[in-house]
Structure 1
Amino acid sequence: MIVQDIMTTDVKTVTPDQPVKDIALMMIMDHISGAPVVDADNKLVGIISEKDILQRMFPKLEEVMSDTHFDFENMETNYKDAMNVKIGDIMTVSVDSIDVDMPCLKAASNMWLRNYRRIPVTKEGKVIGIISIGDVHRAIFKSCMTS
């Protein structure tokens, strides 16, 4: 079984110039926790996750250390500020992807080693799908139950 057999092809993507509020809304409405970031040619240029957005809210260590009474409750205003930032400013640019012809268990092994829950599938650098650990688990379960 290869990645192409089980990948999701209806991938939600965003571009680096979109505001963060676009991906935040997509995450809430579509029940996803992140998305590949692509350029105008659908080439993978990064990935954005809930973690990237929430990290933007948190103060830098120096700020916390310099203020003995840091107002953590006021941090929620940082979330509102983050909504207008461009996705390209907070996305992870060092992003891995896998090829459509990779065996599923090799893809799952790569995700496991890197602690990824999902990874974009590319062909010639363009996003054509996404695969999750759950996709691999479901496919293996189905193949065992039908054998």
Structure 2
Amino acid sequence: MRTTVENVMTTDVAAVNQNASFHTVAELLISKAVSGVPVLDDDNRVVGVVSEADLLAKQEFKERYYGDGYRPPLRARLRHTVGSEGSGFYKALGETAGELMTAPAHTTTPDASVVLAARQMDKYGVKRLPVVDADGRLVGIVSRHDLIKVFLREDADIAAQVRETLHSDTLGVEVTVTDAVVTLSGTLVEHSQAVKAVRLTENIDGVVAVHDNLSWKNDDIVNYPVWGGA
């Protein structure tokens, strides 16, 4: 079974209403030691995300969060001088979370795979995703740190799932796992069985790599390169 976002997400989420004041947002970020929080409408639907980067447009937050001598990186300074909607120029005028936030928010759902969530984070360059139900209401949040948990499975747990997935007891595949690296050994009847066994193992959550030591008796894959066949 594939690990889903629901298996690793955090349900105790720090969030703010879209009408929350600048100071309320700043206090929450500081007290919770987080760099961003979802912004909700009155029906608990996610309408955006407000982060410390959004608040940095205001000098007051810079001084309180980083100290009087703080100067943001050059890239941030250049970005905040651009006079387009949603830029630091306009956000510096914002007084509520709804005016300060970045919208729309990139979200995921509880039943989404952790692989899909990771791809979304990479695509949009974000460190976390609000998790919403079918109505867009907040039910949790998943971070990059949460996704890493998938790769902390015990070797014995991974080995058991590989054996169950491959039906190794009947197929004759020997499975060993060390530090989440799976080694498959044994002789199968068909080449295609060996290819399928490796692919299925690679798709199991927590598997870092697969070492293919399988051989086969019959090459049933036409025009397919033979790797280590008997």
TM-score by length of 1: 0.78
Structure 1, unpaired ranges of 5+? 63-81
Distance 1:141 1:115 in 2: 24
Q: Which shows bigger deviation, 135-144 or 47-56?
A: 135-144
Alignment of 1:1-147 (within 5 A): 1-57=3-59, 60=81, 85-124=95-134, 125-142=136-153, 146-147=157-158
SS in 1 for 2:56: helix
CA contact (8 A) 1:56 1:90 kept: no
1:93-145 deviation per Cα after TM superposition (whole angstroms, max 9, x unaligned): 22110011011111111111211100100002001000001100123223558
Inter-CA distance 105–144: structure 2 relative to 1 (3 Å threshold) = farther
Q: Which one has a larger percent helix, Structure 1 or Structure 2?
A: 1
TM-score, with length taken from structure 2 = 0.51
- Whichever residue aligns with residue 119 of structure 1, its letter is L
The sequence identity of aligned pairs, in percent, is: 30
Task: Give SS of 1:55's match.
Answer: coil
Larger relative CO (CA 8 A, sep 6+): 1 or 2? 1
2: distance between equivalents of 1:25 and 1:145? 44
Provide the aligned C-alpha RMSD in A: 2.2
Contact 1:46 / 1:94 at 8 angstroms: preserved in 2?
Answer: yes
Q: Is the 8 A contact 1:10 1:129 kept in 2?
A: yes
Greater Rg, structure 1 or structure 2? Answer: 2
Measure the CA separation in 1 of the matches of 2:10 and 2:157: 21
Gaps of 5+ in 2: 60-76, 84-91, 159-230
